[in-house]
Structure 1
Amino acid sequence: MVQRRMGLQHIEAFRAVVQTGSMTEAARRLNTSQPQISRLIAQLEQITKFALFDRTGSRVFPTNEGTRFFQEVEKAFTGLSSLEAAAHGIRSFRADRLRVTAMPRLAGGLLTRITARFMVDYPEVMVSIRSGTANTVHEWISSGLCDMGLAMLYQETYGVEVEPLHTGQCVAVLPKGHPLAARDSLTPEDFADHAFIASPGGGQLAERIDQVFTAAGVRRRIVAETDLGASVCTLVGAGLGVSLVNPLAAHEERAAAGLEIRPFTPDIPTTVALIFPPYVARTRLVSEFSAYARRQVQAELAAMGNVPPVPL
């Protein structure tokens, strides 16, 4: 004959009876019948080979052995509660740390908004945002110093894993009331006689813009240089010149800087991308934050009218 083994149903029934002092109340607590509770207690007494309860009318009281057994049961349930708390902590990334990076414009704008949404749902995660130049961001990611980054890319990028989120085209930014604002779109030739705010040499955007104007045979009159899209827009808004920037920077700074925005041809593609350290498996935390980034980018681009919202 196979000996019956102690199961979770036996323990739950026993615990409920001790806590309520009644088979009937224990049945209500566990959403079952009183006869079922009685059967489980009888089976448990057969398994333990000692009486668990003294019965007085409708009330039941644990025996000395039952009390000692209940103390051991509570220790087990305390351990189970600890496991449940540990599982919740793992699920909610409790005490985890995520290091993210971007150039200052993205770090202070789009990346901060992504982080704010993420931390509403995962408040126990420590998110560290670092900003730097394009080259610095690339180094932090490629070396693994940061877990992931948000970048504007203007050409193929090596040494990091790239996940494109959206590719658009650079736009022309002009001061309010500028003569070129009368045109629906602009070309390199339109900039020939106008002051130009440029990106410093060596950067991806600067190289792409140089290539376009060189191919068109147009020499720009550069009056200032800055590697920050926000600074470019501020200088343009102040009437110091015109420029070309990525569409996110242009639309974010349009109202504050007082800008006119126009399409520019030939195309200078710009890709909003997530970048990750190479040859490193993404953790669940990194994957979850990436999903928030995708949704935020799509929502903001949709608000700009560049792309329809896409479920991610």
Structure 2
Amino acid sequence: MDLNQLEAFSAVMTIGSVTGAGRSLGRSQPAVSKALQDLEGELGYALFDRNGPRVTPTDKAFLLYEEVERSLVGLRTIRERALEIGREERQPIHLVATPALASTIAPAALKLIEKNGLPEHIHLRSASAEQVVHSVLHRTVSLGLTSLPVAHRGLDLHWIGQAPCVAVLRADSPLAALDVITVDVLRGERVITMSNRYRLRQRIDMALAQDKPLDVAIETNTSFNAVMAARAGLGVALVEPMTALGMPIEGLAVRPLAVNIPFYFGVVTPFGKPVGAVTQALIEAIETAARNILHGFVRRDAGDHDDLL
């Protein structure tokens, strides 16, 4: 398989039609169709069910798509870097982070190092914790910010950030009059929280369930979804503090929890890869940004990972 085939496949998966993919790629519809047919011939299975100009991806196509996109991102990065070397530009920053960190801590840290001279190009991408780890392991990014645990070999964990989780609720809720949200208060409320039971959700359950499980009415994959559900009046959101404090939203109140539920995140780079001056400055700026945004922020050594988690 070649780049032409992979780009055609990615475009059709994204747009949903061969004609639209050809228009986006600047190719003819027959050229895109042939690239897809050649790719399917090499793979030995169909990627699309065809119905005129529109196509429906098969289950195998969805499984392949994620891998193809990661590969294309890597190839585009190489192409861009080759051009930058020719223009003698500074190496760009490639930063990937979970949505909560990408939308709060990361931009604040980039602003802090701006005075020292940022590269011409900055690539900031949000992804799930598992995708952040994958990107760093495959060295397609300079730096990753992810929730913990992250015990994978092939990563350099520079330090761990810790800050207490919070409750988010409508500002006009009677609970907004409380200074602290207790477990007893939550017992009578619809709770909105995270769905990944191997990360933050596990610590929330352990700290608050005690003798009786909480009434978790809504489970979601991002803190922002949980916060907006709380804004709609669907319940009380229990989330990490970055989204609640780093993205203040009108009509919402943020309150501490009576039980300390620590949220942990880590700063990671590819194992053994030298850290450049700009990346090192960014690692330090991330700590400063976290201290500025998060109440009760504590920096911990990377060696504390296993004991904490």
Normalized against structure 2, the TM-score is what? 0.60
Residues 133-152 of structure 1 deviation map (CA, whole Å, 9 limit, x = unaligned): 11111221233222212234
> For 1:266 and 1:306, how far apart are their aligned partners in 2?
14
Q: How do residues 74-223 of structure 1 correspond to structure 2 at under 5 angstroms?
A: 94-119=89-114, 121-153=116-148, 156-159=149-152, 160-164=155-159, 166-214=161-209, 216-223=210-217
Instruction: Say if 1:188 and 1:212, in contact at 8 Å, map to a contact too.
Output: no
Aligned match of 1:295 in 288, 291, 294? 288
Aligned-partner residue type, residue 289 of structure 1 = L
Distance 1:204 1:152 in 2: 7
- Paired with 1:296 and 1:184, the residues of 2 have a C-alpha distance of 26
Give the secondary structure class of the aligned counterpart of 1:157: coil
Bigger radius of gyration:
1
- Summarize deviations over 1:174-228 as a string: whole Å, max 9, x none: 22232333333223332122111121133411111122233x1232222222222
Per the TM alignment, residue 240 of structure 1 is displaced from its structure 2 partner at its CA by 0.5
Deviation by residue 1:5-49 (Cα, 9 ceiling, x = unmatched): xxxxxxxxxxxxxxxxxxxxxxxxxxxxxxxxxxxxxxxxxxxxx
Q: CA deviation at 1:132?
A: 0.6
**Residues 104, 247 of structure 2: 8 Å contact kept:** no
Structure 2: runs of 5+ lacking an equivalent: 1-83, 299-309
Provide the C-alpha distance between the structure 2 equivalents of 1:242 and 1:110, rounded to a whole number of angstroms.
Answer: 24
Assess if the C-alpha contact under 8 Å between 1:253 and 1:259 holds in 2. no
- Which residue of 235, 256, 261 maps to 1:263? 256
CA distance in 1, matches of 2:288, 2:248: 23
Pair 1:98–1:123, CA change in 2 (3 A): closer
Aligned residues between the structures: 211
Q: Distance in 2 between matches of 1:158 and 1:111?
A: 22
Q: Give me the whole-angstrom Cα distance separating, in 1, the residues matched to 2:241 and 2:176.
A: 17
Higher-RCO chain (CA-CA 8 Å, sequence separation at least 6) = 2
Question: Where do 5+ consecutive residues of structure 1 fail to align?
Answer: 1-88
Aligned residue among 207, 213, 220 for 1:226: 220
CA distance in 2, matches of 1:122, 1:234: 36
Structure 2 residue matching 1:255: 3-state secondary structure: coil
CA distance in 2, matches of 1:283, 1:252: 28
Identity %: 22
TM-score relative to the length of structure 1: 0.59
**Alignment match, 1:23:** none
- In the alignment, which residue of structure 2 is the partner of 1:245? 239
Indicate the residue corresponding to 1:286 in structure 2. Answer: 279
Per-residue CA deviations over 1:150-176 (Å, capped at 9, x if unaligned) read: 2344xx431233233642211111222
Shift of 1:243: 1.9
Supply the RMSD in Å over aligned alpha carbons: 2.8
